Structure 1
């Protein structure tokens, strides 16, 4: 039978050792910690509450921007005339009265909305029209109406002179363009005085739509629709009868077909003689072939003017086609493969005035070499 003898010894670090000695002089030591562990000071106080919950209650009147509900997650969903923020805060976008309600189409959701009228409950029945706020009423007093008409915001007041100048420039541009169209239509296409006013106005409106991004064909369709819609509004106002509207529509269609069979409008705002699709295709091939055979080189200023005239020939190329041809034949930096754009074996000690020396990598020799580029190729 073995007998054990136990003893305690304290270390310098505050720990205790328990020594067990057996009869055969085997020593077993067990160390136990006795130092008290200190607590943390950082987590003694809890953070402040986020003040979640409703901030406006059923029937309360709210203004636009008023917070109705603060929450984490969409416990309450946004309904009519309210919006929800990125932190799920619901706020009003219209003045009115708060309504908490259930939607029969979403029975498991709770909604909050703003009713524009105090006696209107939410949700509004599915097939009934929504109640919307337009914000304007007709003023009966002429003096008060004129005062409201003349009212301007501070920004409008400060920029009034610039706005008037831009409006005047726009009006002058319209008058000048229509006058130019009238002269061309009467001199070159013999349009009668009866139709010249309507034709010049139509072409100006098509040009305006074209400058806004429409193609010429879509601008023509849009202008025809706008004219018919103006006739429809005149009927609603009582200025025209149904029979007069029908007569004017048929007359306009006849006039449109007649004028477009003689004259067409280019994207740059010039009028030209109508060309059939076959004539346009033939002219495109002729101009493209001439550019490739005669002008695919380093051009002089006179040749650049001629190339620009060919590319911008009225009625031949679209805007995208003109841009593509300009990038190819009138580039700001002529590529190295264009004939005459590179001068080999240039003397670095004696470089001509109209030549710019450049050091490029030669694929054949795998080394850098010096070449000359005409200044016309870099302009």
Structure 2
């Protein structure tokens, strides 16, 4: 049985407070509550992002100048402008700003840069595109010479280095052409006129550059060199430097000279001149060298003299190309001789006092699943 005390302020078993006044038919109940205080989260207001147009209709802008800042593509990029990742529209050419509608997209509004103030946008669909070349004709000869000799500060400061590199390149070319001339005159005993000799030297110098510096094959380099010379003849004819008859004569003479030289001279993988070898001769020479390498220099530790000899065999002029030379060098001149090669491992060695010319190594033995200390001669390493 629940009890409660009567009075001005009595307690009810539920936790509520009952107040009984003199009016017996009026009862006031006040429940147990707690007032919750609110909090203001946005105490500090952030600054505005300054969105909107930065340059208005008809105003001049420079490349890179911002035209419009926005959230989303409310204004789409038109001619001579680009849009950034935050939808900022900026100019890429100097000109005048124009806001316009494109007939192909009537619901979009565009902004573009017109190269001339009175040039409307958009450009008609089939009209030629207006481009800025940035060149003006200089009538004054002195001003023209001054403009030709003008260079930036970086170019001016780097000029001595450029002159030095150019001088070294010309000296290298002169030495190379003299070697080519000596090879052609002495070893091949070819008698060429001054004009044909210059054509020959220039041709093989260009082939040398394409093979050695560009990494092209000899066949591709020769084809490219022929194409370049024929193209230069066509340009000379177009300029009026050669007549049609002179062009035909020069072209025929060059092809005859190339046919004559291609059966006597070629370029090897290093870019040096060498005697021409037919396909049968080249295949026979390859088989002979590979057989010699396999029988005499395979599966053994090579001395320094043997390594030099094997390298000379692999680099025989006109026989192997670059890829074949790399494959042969990996097989017969490895960076480290495998452990399976006889004489490449010395067992029972004192690691603290190894013999002279022996390098101590720790190797993992697959059979015992353990590490053991062995000695290896210096000859097994390519750097020794």
1:376 corresponds to 2:352: no
1:276 aligns with 2:278: yes
Worse-superposed segment, 103-112 or 355-364: 103-112
User: How far apart are the structure 1 equivalents of 2:334 and 2:269?
Assistant: 22
- Write the distance in 2 (CA, Å) between the matches of 1:32 and 1:161: 93
Partner residue, 2:169: 170
In the other structure, the counterpart of 1:151 is 150
Equivalents in 2 of 1:86, 1:55: separation in Å? 18
The partner residue of 1:257 within 259, 262, 265 is: 259
Cα drift, residue 281 of structure 1: 2.7
Cα deviation for residue 34 of structure 1 reads: 2.3
Task: Please say which of residues 329-338 and 140-149 is displaced more in the overlay.
Answer: 329-338
Match in the other structure for 1:214: 216
Report what 1:132 is aligned to: 131
User: In structure 2, which of residues 299, 304, 308 is the aligned counterpart of residue 305 of structure 1?
Assistant: 308
- The equivalent residue for 1:24 is none
- 193 and 155 in structure 1: CA distance in 2 versus 1, 3 angstrom threshold: same
2:345 aligns with one of 342, 353, 360: 342
| 8 A Cα contact 1:81 1:94, kept in partner | yes
Give TM-score scaled by structure 1 length.
0.86
TM-score, with length taken from structure 2: 0.85
Preserved CA contact (<8 Å) 2:71 2:86: yes
Deviations 1:23-78 (A, max 9, x none): xxxxxx997432331312x4133322212222122222111111112122333332
Cα deviation 1:250-293 (Å, max 9, x = unaligned): 22222222211221111312111222233323322322232233
Greater shift after overlay, 69-78 or 298-307? 69-78
The aligned runs of 1:37-56 (5 Å cut-off) are 37-40=37-40, 42-56=41-55
Work out whether residues 341 and 373 of structure 1, in 8 Å CA contact, stay in contact via their aligned partners in 2.
Answer: yes
**Unpaired segments ≥5 residues, structure 1:** 10-15, 21-28
| Range with bigger deviation, 53-62 or 107-116 | 107-116
In structure 2, C-alpha distance between the alignment counterparts of 1:110 and 1:337, rounded to whole Å? 76
Q: What is the distance in 1 between the residues matched to 2:291 and 2:32?
A: 99
Change (3 A) 1:158 1:374: same
- Give the number of aligned pairs: 364
- Matches of 1:236 and 1:259 in 2, distance apart? 29
Cα offset, 1:104, TM superposition:
4.2
Aligned-pair CA distance for 1:347: 4.4
Match of 2:21 in 1: none
Structure 1 ranges of 4+ moved more than 6 A: 2-9
Query: For the structure 1 residues 54 and 363, does the alpha-carbon distance in structure 2 shift closer, same or farther, using more than 3 Å as the test?
Result: same
Q: Distance in 2 between matches of 1:338 and 1:103?
A: 77
SS in 1 for 2:100: strand
CA 1:196 to 1:66, structure 2 compared with 1: closer, same or farther past 3 Å? same
Q: Residues 124 and 225 of structure 1: is their aligned pair in 2 closer, same or farther, counting only changes over 3 Å?
A: farther
Distance 1:113 1:224 in 2: 48
**1:205 — aligned with what?**
206
Take 2:119 and 2:272, find their aligned partners in 1: how far apart are those partners?
59
The answer as to whether partners of 1:346 and 1:370 remain within 8 angstroms in 2 is: yes
Equivalent in the alignment of 2:16: 18
1:207–1:267 contact (8 Å) kept in structure 2: no
- Structure 2 regions of 5+ residues with no counterpart? 19-28
Q: Once the 2 structures are TM-superposed, how far is the Cα of residue 205 of structure 1 from its aligned partner?
A: 0.9
Contact 2:207 2:271 survives alignment (8 Å): no
- Answer yes or no: is the 8 Å Cα contact 2:63–2:91 preserved in 1: yes
Task: Give the aligned partner of residue 77 of structure 2.
Answer: 78
Task: Determine the structure 2 residue equivalent to 1:196.
Answer: 197
Partner of 1:256, secondary structure, is helix
How far residue 162 of structure 1 moved from its aligned partner, in angstroms, is 1.1
Matched residue, 1:110: 109
Closer/same/farther in 2, CA of residues 246 and 352 from structure 1, 3 Å limit: same
Paired with 2:10 and 2:164, the residues of 1 have a C-alpha distance of 103
How far apart in 2 are the matches of 1:97 and 1:332? 66
C-alpha distance after superposition, 1:301-345 (max 9, x if no partner): 211111111111122222222223223322332222333211223
- Whether contact under 8 Å (1:8, 1:17) holds in the other structure is no
Matches of 2:172 and 2:230, distance apart in 1: 25
1:185-206 deviation digits (Å, cap 9, x = unpaired) = 1222233332221011011111
SS in 1 for 2:16: strand
User: Does residue 318 in structure 1 map to residue 324 in structure 2?
Assistant: no
